[in-house]
């Protein structure tokens, strides 16, 4: 039992949940290491949503609500951390949700789908095909899901699939705490924030943005600027820590 007054209460509860989901076959063991890497960058952000991340969240909402066929791609870590938040975003944006895994087995697909459905997510199902130009299992997707999407939200993903989706003409929204990662640099738009903090901001914006603001946000979108701003936030915190 983790006491609620523990200074790392939230972080420890998240680790506990991920470990449980790993034992249940939802999270791949490799996903635990990926989460730890993300936590390190979150320390540098001060474990908070920055102003540039809030702006990125609003821009992400604009991309989703104006898309012809938006799809949210979900892996094991995302499902374990943010199944409820994914459901809320789906309802706000009208996006489809598809399970996509690097360590892909039918059993994991079913377990993750069940977890998402428990939280009210409508998960796209069907026969997956190798439609994405990759040599590993993230090449598999649904023709009517990610295959047909014009905008794909890929929280907690890997860079080569992000690049492959871009090569297919899709706009890719990434949520990545590491502004130096391939995913962050290859995405159309990167939200440098922790996934359970970022998703509610995107959801809220989906319900409040008007057509004019959507157009303005999309026209002025500059991912390089957002990544530089995130890196600057981290530099400033490091500087103050050493004062």
Q: Is the full-model pTM beyond 0.85?
A: yes
* pLDDT tens profile 73-97: 998 889 888 999 999 999 999 999 9
- Give me the CATH topology for the region 51-240: Rossmann fold (3.40.50)
The pLDDT value recorded for residue 153 is 97
The pLDDT value given to residue 62: 98
Q: Tell me what pLDDT residue 5 has.
A: 63
SS (H, E, C) the chain: CCCCCCCCHHHHHHHHHHHHHHHCCCCCHHHHHHHHHHHHHHHHHCCCCCHHHHHHHHHHHHHHHHCCCEEEEECHHHHHHHHHHHHHHHHHHCCEEEECCCCCCHHHHHHHHHHHHHCCCCECCCCCEECCCCCCHHHEECCCCHHHCCEEEEECCCHHHHHHHHHCCCEEEEECCCCCCHHHHHCCEEECCCHHHHHHHHHHHHCCCCHHHHHHHHHCCCHHHHHHHHHHHHHHHHHHHCC
Mean pLDDT by runs of 10 across the 243 residues of the chain is: 61 72 71 72 91 98 98 91 95 97 85 94 95 89 97 85 95 96 95 95 97 97 97 89 64
pLDDT for 229 equals 97
pLDDT number for residue 12:
64
């Amino acid at each position: 039992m983790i006491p609620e007054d523990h200074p790392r209460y939230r972080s420890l509860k998240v680790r506990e949940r991920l470990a449980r989901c790993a034992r249940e076959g939802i999270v791949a063991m490799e996903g635990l290491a990926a989460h730890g890497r993300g936590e390190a960058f979150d320390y540098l952000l001060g474990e908070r949503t920055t102003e540039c991340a809030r702006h990125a969240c609003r821009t992400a909402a604009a991309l989703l609500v104006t898309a012809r066929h938006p799809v949210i791609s979900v892996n094991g870590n995302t499902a374990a951390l943010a199944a409820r938040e994914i459901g809320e975003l789906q309802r706000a944006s009208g996006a489809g949700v598809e399970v996509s895994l690097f360590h892909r087995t039918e059993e994991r697909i079913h377990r993750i789908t069940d977890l998402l459905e428990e939280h009210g997510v409508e998960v796209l199902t069907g026969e997956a095909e190798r439609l994405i130009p990759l040599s590993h299992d993230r090449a598999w997707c649904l023709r009517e899901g990610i295959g047909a999407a014009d905008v794909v939200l890929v929280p907690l993903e890997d860079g080569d699939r992000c690049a492959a989706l871009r090569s297919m003409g899709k706009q890719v929204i990434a949520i990545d705490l590491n502004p130096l990662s391939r995913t962050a640099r290859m995405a159309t738009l990167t939200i440098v924030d922790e996934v359970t903090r970022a998703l509610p901001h995107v959801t809220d914006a989906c319900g409040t943005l008007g057509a004019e603001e959507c157009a303005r946000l999309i026209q002025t979108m500059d991912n390089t600027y957002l990544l530089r701003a995130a890196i600057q936030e981290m530099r400033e915190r490091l500087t103050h820590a050493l004062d």
